[in-house]
Amino acid sequence: MLNIPTDPNIAEYTIIGNHTQVNLSDGGVIEERVQVGSRQGLNANIEINIAGGIVEERFTAYNKSTVNISGGNVGSNTHFGGIKQGNFTGGEQSATFSTSGKAARST
């Protein structure tokens, strides 16, 4: 489990692997081009919780990951492809935010 900003920010081009939970809050940063899981669907049990902080551009979450956004700022060219579940209840998302998952919903 990573709690950002308490733990170090996630650097650009990082791939977040299996059995990981990331909690992003005010003051934390997920740098650009971070990838959650694998586009081949090999990842499992990955949860990203964005309650504050900044997710820089080109953040991508792939199959079988769960993404919850309740705050913070999510950058441009963000894509959630085939995610297991997405709950988008707050925060600021860019105009180039896209999803292709079965369970993505926004309230």
User: Residue 99: is its pLDDT beyond 70?
Assistant: no
Lowest pLDDT segment from 1-5, 34-38, 83-87, 102-106: 102-106
Q: What pLDDT, on the 0 to 100 scale, is given for residue 57? A: 92
Angle at 91 between CA 87 and CA 96, to 5 degrees: 85
Give me the residue spans of the domains in the chain: 2-96
Q: What pLDDT, on the 0 to 100 scale, is given for residue 103? A: 46
Q: What confidence category does residue 97 fall into, taking pLDDT thresholds of 50, 70 and 90? A: low
How many beta carbons lie within 10 A of that of residue 95, not counting itself? 6
* pLDDT tens figures, 39-92: 776 657 899 999 999 999 999 988 788 899 999 999 888 888 777 888 888 888
User: Residue 38: is its pLDDT beyond 90?
Assistant: no
How many beta carbons lie within 10 A of that of residue 48, not counting itself? 26
pTM: 0.84
Both tokens of 106, joined, read: 């926004």
Q: Give the Cα separation of 48 and 59 in Å (integer).
A: 11
